[in-house]
Chain A
């Protein structure tokens, strides 16, 4: 009887694990709010097109609205607290650049990039960029992709 109970419990746990969502705070920003917003760009690339970059998901948002920039930064910082590896730079108490390696989800590597170009020293621009990448690519491969 114990064995049967163990088998059923194991199957239930596997199903629950499959149901688990990635659980990132920045997911709230990908609810479609920027698709019709002026001064915003949202890019979604998944499947075969994303595989060209060694990814399964590429999702980014760029905004020029400073109030939105603050919201994005706060959510990125929240997720950043859970990161297993991070490279960040603050300027004037604000996050300028962040590259976060998040814990894996469904065996996929997950990365979050944040850049607030308002804080750039050379030719600042009113653009805040958030990028979420997911896939098998390592952090080094992602960095190479950026430096191409």
Chain B
């Protein structure tokens, strides 16, 4: 209990918890933190999280070695890294699955057309129809332009 005397307020405790997870605490501060988490009456989200993570060590904190504290942090970081890798691999697999494979097929009046050249010819016919429409639009604009020019002369 001696070392818990260093932590005099909830704000001080929360600040120390932040520093602990950032690896900025000294051995003495870590001991004080463990003692405080085991015995201090304050409660907040940060303190509860720290108690969850450090709970085991808080109960036995006075007898633990510095190496144990490092081991716990490493374990927490390890679990987080594992979750991150699983999510990243899952996300990539999902993305990869969504990438279209090689397909070149057409259905004309319910009949399947699967030859690449035949399908491309159909694509060409699609594009030709659009070309005719865009060409007509361009002609319209050109005609309008000419009409305006004549009108302004």
Q: Which residues of A contact B (CB under 8 A)?
A: 1-4, 7-8, 11-12, 14-15, 18-19, 34-50, 53, 56-58, 60, 62, 87, 89, 96-97, 99, 106, 113, 115, 117, 120-122, 127, 129, 131, 143, 145-148
Bound-state Cα–Cα, A46 to B90, Å: 24
Given contacts A97-B134, A115-B130, 12 further A-B contacts (CB under 8 A): A11-B87, A14-B91, A15-B90, A19-B94, A43-B106, A46-B104, A49-B120, A62-B126, A87-B137, A106-B95, A117-B129, A117-B133
Given contact pairs A40-B107, A46-B103, A47-B101, A60 touches B126 in the complex (Cβ within 8 A): yes
Q: Is the CB of A45 within 8 A of B137?
A: no
B residues less than 8 Å from A36 (CB atoms): 107, 110
Q: Is the CB of A146 within 8 A of B119?
A: no
Q: Is the CB of B129 within 8 A of A129?
A: yes
Q: Interface residues of B: mostly helix, strand, loop or mixed?
A: helix
Q: Which residues of B contact A (CB under 8 A)?
A: 17-18, 21, 46, 49-50, 53, 76-77, 80, 83-84, 87-88, 90-92, 94-95, 98-110, 116, 119-120, 122-123, 126-127, 129-137
User: Which of B90, B91, B110, B126 has the most CB atoms of chain A within a 10 A radius of its CB?
Assistant: B126
The 5 closest A-B CB pairs, nearest first, are: A47-B102, A46-B100, A11-B87, A35-B107, A15-B91
Q: Is the CB of B107 within 8 A of A34?
A: yes
Within the complex, the shortest CB–CB distance from A52 to chain B, in Å, comes to: 8
B residues less than 8 Å from A43 (CB atoms): 105-107, 119, 122-123, 126
> Nearest CB to that of A35 among chain B residues?
B107
Given contact pairs A38-B110, A42-B107, A43-B106, A14 touches B88 in the complex (Cβ within 8 A): yes
Q: Is the CB of A38 within 8 A of B136?
A: no
B residues less than 8 Å from A11 (CB atoms): 83-84, 87-88, 91
Bound-state Cα–Cα, A148 to B130, Å: 11
User: Which of B46, B102, B123 has the most CB atoms of chain A within a 10 A radius of its CB?
Assistant: B123
A residues less than 8 Å from B116 (CB atoms): 49
Q: Is the CB of A131 within 8 A of B100?
A: no
Q: Is the CB of A41 within 8 A of B108?
A: yes
Given contact pairs A4-B76, A15-B91, A146 touches B107 in the complex (Cβ within 8 A): no
Bound-state Cα–Cα, A145 to B90, Å: 37
Bound-state Cα–Cα, A97 to B138, Å: 13
